[in-house]
Amino acid sequence: MERVRVGTIGGGAFGTSLCVHCSRAGHETLIYTRDEGVTADINNPQVKENKVYFKGFRLPGSLRASTNLLDVVAHADLLLLCVPTPYVAATLEKIRDHLQPHQVLVSCSKGILNETLETVDKILERVLPVSLHRRIAFLSGPSFAAEVAREKPTCVTIAARDLAVCKRVQMLLSTGRFRCYRTADVTGVELAGALKNVLAIGCGMVDGLDFGGNGRAALITRGHSEIVRLAVALGAHPLTLSGLAGIGDIVLTCTGDLSRNRTVGLRLGKGEALEDIIASMKAVAEGVLTSRSAHLLAQKVKISTPIIDAVYRIVHERADPLATLDQLMSMDLMPEVDEAVLAASTATHLLTESHDPA
Ligand SMILES: NC(=O)C1=CN([C@@H]2O[C@H](COP(=O)(O)OP(=O)(O)OC[C@H]3O[C@@H](n4cnc5c(N)ncnc54)[C@H](O)[C@@H]3O)[C@@H](O)[C@H]2O)C=CC1
Ligand SMILES: O=C(CO)COP(=O)(O)O
C-alpha cells in the first residue's frame, strides 16, 4: 500500500480519530491543533493523549502535532480539513496561498453556513482558486470518531468531481477496518451529511420526550423524505440520499448514543435550555446552526420540510417541543408518496405490459 504524508487541520474528535486511522494505515501523520497544551501532550511519549477533545485514548507513537498551521500544510501530500463549518472559510484563507499543486485536500466537515447557506464544498470553491478545485475531495458517511479510532468496522463515502482524485483518496484512506466508497455526487454527499444532523436533533427530542420506537422510526422515515426532497431540489442525485452519506449517517446519528446532535435533542426534549446544553458541551453539534440554514434553504427553493422546520422552531425560536410534535402529528392528512409521481410510474408499468408481444 502506498504511504504518504498526511496533515490534519483540526484537533477535535474527528481530526484526532482520522489521524489515529492514518497513522495506523502507515501514513506519516502530523496534526494541527490550536492549543499548545494539546500539542505538547500529543508529542510527549509519556502522555500521547488529546485530553481536550479525545480523552482516554492513547494515540499512536508515530503521530506528531504542531501549532504551526503552515508547517502542517507544508508537510502534507494529503490534507484533511476537520474544522467545524463556521471556521472553514477563515482556515482556508490562512492556507490557500501555501497549497501546492500536488496536494489533495479532503474536507470532512458536515454543515451549512447560516449567512450564505453554503455547504462546505461551496465554501471551498468560493475561497480557493479555481486551479485547485479539482484537487478537492469530501469524506462523509456514518463514522463516529470514537469508533474510527477504536478500529470498529466503518464504511464512508469519498466524493470528488475529479475521478482520479476520488480514486486516489479512496485508495489512500481505505484499510481492512475503514472502507471507502466513491461517488461524483459532491452536492448530494454534502447536503446529506449536513442535513442528517438536523434530523438527529429531532430524533433526540423524540427520545427525550419518550415518544417510543414508533415515533423515532416515523421521524427518521419522514425526515429522510424531507432530506431527499430538499437535496434533490438543490441538485443531489436521489440515490446518494439512500447511500452511506444519507440513510447510513441518518441511522447512525439518529440512534447512536455517541451523537452530539442527538444528545442536544435529547436534552432539549427533557426540558433543558439550549444555552445550558451548549455551555456544557466542549464539542460542536453542527445541527444547531444547520437547522436554521436548512429551514431557510427549504423556504428559498419552496420545498415542504415540516420536520426540519419544527427542529428549527424548537432550537431557535424556543417553541415548546411537545406542542410542536403534537402539531406535526395533526397536520392535514396526506399521501405518503406524491400521488402524481406514483400514478406516472404505474402508468409506465401498464404501458410496458400492454406492449408485451406474448
Ligand atoms: N466527531 C465525529 O464523530 C465526527 C465529526 N464530523 C465533522 O467533523 C467536523 C469537526 O468536528 P469534530 O472534530 O467532532 O469537532 P469537535 O467538536 O470535537 O471539536 C471542535 C473543533 O473546533 C475547533 N475550533 C473551535 N473554535 C475554533 C475557531 N474559532 N477556529 C477554528 N477552529 C475552532 C477546535 O479546535 C476543534 O478542532 C464537524 O463538521 C463534524 O460534523 C464528521 C464525522 C464524525
Ligand atoms: O457525523 C457524525 C457521525 O457520522 C457525528 O455526529 P455528531 O456530530 O452528531 O456526533
Complex ipTM value: 0.98
Looking at residue 356, its pLDDT comes to: 55
Length reported for the chain: 358
* pLDDT at 218 (0 to 100): 97
In the predicted structure, residue 1 carries a pLDDT above the cut 90? no
- Minimal-distance CA residue to ligand 1 atom 23: 83
**Separation of CA 269 and ligand 2 centre (Å):** 19
Q: How far is Cα 187 from Cα 180, in angstroms, rounded to an integer?
A: 18
pLDDT exceeds cutoff 60 at 246: yes
pLDDT of residue 24: 97
56 among the known binding-site residues?
no
Helix axes 306-316, 321-329, angle to 10 degrees: 170
From 48, 196, 270, 300, the catalytic residue: 196
pLDDT (mean) for 86-100:
98
- How far apart are the CA of 145 and the centre of ligand 1, in A? 11
261 is in an annotated binding site: yes
The answer to whether residue 354 scores a pLDDT higher than 70 is no
User: Could you read off the pLDDT of 189-213 as tens digits, one per residue?
Assistant: 999 999 999 999 999 999 999 999 9
- pTM tops 0.90: yes
Q: What percent of the chain has pLDDT over 90?
A: 92
Average pLDDT for residues 264-273, to the nearest whole number?
Answer: 96
Contact (CB, 8 A) for 216 and 255: yes
State yes or no: 68 annotated in a binding site.
no
**Which tens digit of pLDDT belongs to each residue from 310-330?**
999 999 999 999 999 889 999
Question: What single-letter DSSP state applies at residue 175?
Answer: B
Alpha helices in 44-185 (DSSP H): 69-75, 88-95, 120-127, 145-149, 163-173
**What is the band of 349 on the pLDDT scale with cuts at 50, 70, 90?**
low
Given pLDDT bands bounded at 50, 70 and 90, which one contains residue 343? Answer: confident
Pocket probe for ligand 2: among 83, 260, 291, the residue whose CB has the most ligand atoms within 8 Å is: 260
Q: How high is the mean pLDDT of the chain?
A: 95
Which residues have CB under 6 Å of ligand 1? 10-15, 34, 53, 82-85, 87, 108-111, 143-145, 283-284, 286
Q: Does the C-beta of 260 come closer than 6 Å to ligand 2?
A: yes
For atom 6 of ligand 2, the residue with the nearest CA is 259
Active-site residue, 196 included:
yes
